């Protein structure tokens, strides 16, 4: 029996293997709250870190946990270090994320908690406070043009920006978080 | 020919690895979505106060406390002006209410009750108003259960505007 290998099959296989080896392409997401706001498993088991990275894990992801280096406290330095341990790069000095990565922002309620925002393709920032709805407004009900000046309640410390490898398909971001 | 066979073998190995990873992910997700701590033998109450870190949970198993909650729910009045399709829980940073999970349908209560300030919403999405009695009851139960650490309690009281209180009310 003669087995023939089609060139297109080899090319496809090589492309798949390259994608697996090199990692997937990043893209900036759009605001798609219906994916997250299902009043069920997705909404209750995915938090601001899941949402900002656009990565559904159903584990209420915590910065650093995937890397075995979860934050030591609720301060900017602690959570910044944890997110860096997850492999998410900080925003470079140019102020622009490279490689079509998405800009995300970290804030902290000192001693209590942390919170993340993401920049959508619309140019507005959106977020998901804990297990409640993903939303495009701040605590005053205003659209978020700048997370540094948005009404953030007790999350008073602005920590900085990262560049996440998000995806155009909601929930399919590529950062390794858990 | 030998090279092609090896390439196919590699693809099969990658596919098998991906399949294993997917199965592990699914198992983890199922674990994360497991029943709340009380299971069907009590009410699991989540204090919606954080965004990034997990919210505190506590459990009510005492039939008398469950009956009290049912009594308070029965005393609540329908609120027609609110869209029942929308959650009453606000999507804000800070205190966002309580979520009562009752998978065992204990005490004649619905499977899920959301409580925020004067509003209550049951699993059937009915919106009721009760002047804040249910929320006060749940705050007291949270204090009694020691589910909240001192800082979380301070945060809850600050956002609810009752900083003057120093502890839970006595059992009724």
| Length of chain B measured in residues | 172
Average pLDDT estimate for A141-160 = 97
Torsion of CA B78, B83, B86, B88, to 10 degrees: -40
Q: Which residues of A touch B93 (CB under 8 A)?
A: 109, 115, 129, 139, 152-155
Any CB–CB contact under 8 A between A116 and chain B?
A: yes
Judge contact between B96 and B155, C-beta under 8 A.
no
Taking contacts as CB-CB distances below 8 angstroms, the residues of chain B near A133 are 87, 89, 91
A41 touches chain B (CB under 8 A): yes
| Residue B123 sits at the chain A interface (C-beta within 8 Å) | no
Helices (H), chain A: 7-22, 33-36, 41-45, 48-53, 76-85
Chain mean pLDDT for chain A: 91
Q: In the prediction, which pLDDT does A5 show?
A: 65
Which residue in B has a C-alpha nearest to residue A110's C-alpha? B151
Q: Which of A110, A112, A134, A101 is nearest to A33 (CA)?
A: A134
In this prediction the pTM is 0.81
Is A45 close to B32, i.e. CB distance below 8 A?
Answer: yes
Backbone angles phi and psi of A10, in degrees to 5? -65, -45
Give the residue from B87, B104, B96 showing the smallest Cα distance to B35.
B104
CB B58, CB B79: distance < 8 Å: no
**Phi, psi angle pair for B26, to nearest 5°:** -65, -40
Share of chain A above pLDDT 90, in %: 85
Chain A residues whose CB is inside 8 A of the B9 CB are none
Mean pLDDT in chain B? 77
- Complex confidence, ipTM: 0.87
How far apart are the C-alpha atoms of A53 and A143, rounded to whole Å? 20
Alpha carbons A96 and B93: distance in angstroms, whole number: 27
Q: Is residue A12 pLDDT above 70, yes or no?
A: no
- Residue-wise pLDDT for A47-83, tens only, equals 999 999 999 999 999 999 999 999 999 999 999 999 9
Return the closest-CA partner of residue A59 out of A78, A81, A44: A44
Q: Which chain B residues are Cβ-neighbours of A78 within 8 angstroms? A: none
Does B121 touch chain A if contact means CB atoms closer than 8 Å? no
Q: What b/e readout covers A52-76, taking b as 16+ CB neighbours within 10 angstroms?
A: bbbbbbbbbbbbbbbbeebbeebbb
Which tokens in the block code for residue B141? 């139960």
Rounded CA gap, A176 and A178, in Å? 7
Nearest to A97 by CA among A109, A86, A89: A89
Residues 51-80 of A with CB under 8 A from B: 57-60, 62-63, 74, 79
Which tokens hold the place of B50? 């954080």
Question: Domain map of chain B by residue range?
Answer: 5-149
Chain B residue closest to A12 (CA)? B11
Residue B117 CB neighbour total at 10 angstroms: 16
Spatial CA neighbour of B106 closest among B44, B58, B43, B59: B43
Q: What residues of B are in contact with residue A79 (Cβ under 8 Å)?
A: 52
Instruction: Kindly tell me if the per-residue pLDDT of A160 is higher than 60.
Output: yes
* Digit-coded pLDDT (tens) for B20-51: 333 333 333 333 344 568 888 999 999 999 99
Number of other CB atoms surrounding residue A156 within 10 Å: 10
DSSP, res A167: -
Please tell me the distance from the alpha carbon of residue B46 to that of residue B114, in angstroms, as a whole number.
10
pLDDT band at A101 (very low <50, low <70, confident <90, very high): very high
Please answer whether residues A29 and A166 qualify as being in contact, where contact means their C-beta atoms are separated by less than 8 angstroms. yes
Q: What is the mean pLDDT of residues A86-114?
A: 97
């Amino acid at each position: 029996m003669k087995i023939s290998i089609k060139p297109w099959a080899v090319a496809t296989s090589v492309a798949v293997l390259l994608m697996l080896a090199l990692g997937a392409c990043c893209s900036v997401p759009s605001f798609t709250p219906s994916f997250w706001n299902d009043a069920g498993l997705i909404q209750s088991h995915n938090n601001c870190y899941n949402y900002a990275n656009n990565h559904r894990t159903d584990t209420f992801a915590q910065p650093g946990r995937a890397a075995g280096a979860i934050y030591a406290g609720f301060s900017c330095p602690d959570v910044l270090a944890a997110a860096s341990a997850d492999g998410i790069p900080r925003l470079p000095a140019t102020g622009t994320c490279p490689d079509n990565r998405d800009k995300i922002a970290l804030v902290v309620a000192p001693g209590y908690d942390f919170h993340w925002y993401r920049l959508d393709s619309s140019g507005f920032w959106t977020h998901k406070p804990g297990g409640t709805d993903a939303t495009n407004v701040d605590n005053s009900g205003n659209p978020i043009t700048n997370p540094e000046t948005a009404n953030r309640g007790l999350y008073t410390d602005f920590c900085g920006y990262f560049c996440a490898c998000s995806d155009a398909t909601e929930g399919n971001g590529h950062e390794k978080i858990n | 020919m030998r090279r092609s066979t090896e390439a196919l073998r590699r693809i099969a190995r990658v596919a098998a690895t991906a399949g294993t990873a997917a199965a592990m992910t699914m198992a983890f997700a199922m674990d994360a979505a497991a029943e709340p701590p009380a299971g069907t033998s009590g009410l699991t109450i989540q204090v919606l106060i954080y965004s990034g870190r997990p919210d505190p949970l506590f459990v009510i198993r005492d039939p008398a406390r469950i009956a009290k909650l049912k009594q308070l729910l029965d005393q609540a009045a329908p609120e027609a002006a609110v869209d029942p399709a929308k959650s009453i829980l606000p999507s804000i940073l800070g205190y966002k209410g309580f979520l009562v999970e009752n998978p065992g349908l204990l005490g004649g209560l619905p499977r899920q009750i959301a409580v925020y300030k004067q509003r209550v919403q049951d699993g059937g999405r009915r919106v009721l108003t009760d002047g804040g009695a249910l929320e006060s009851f749940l705050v007291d139960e949270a204090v009694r259960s020691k589910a909240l650490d001192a800082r979380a309690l301070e945060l809850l009281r600050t956002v609810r505007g009752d900083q003057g209180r120093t502890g839970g009310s006595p059992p009724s």
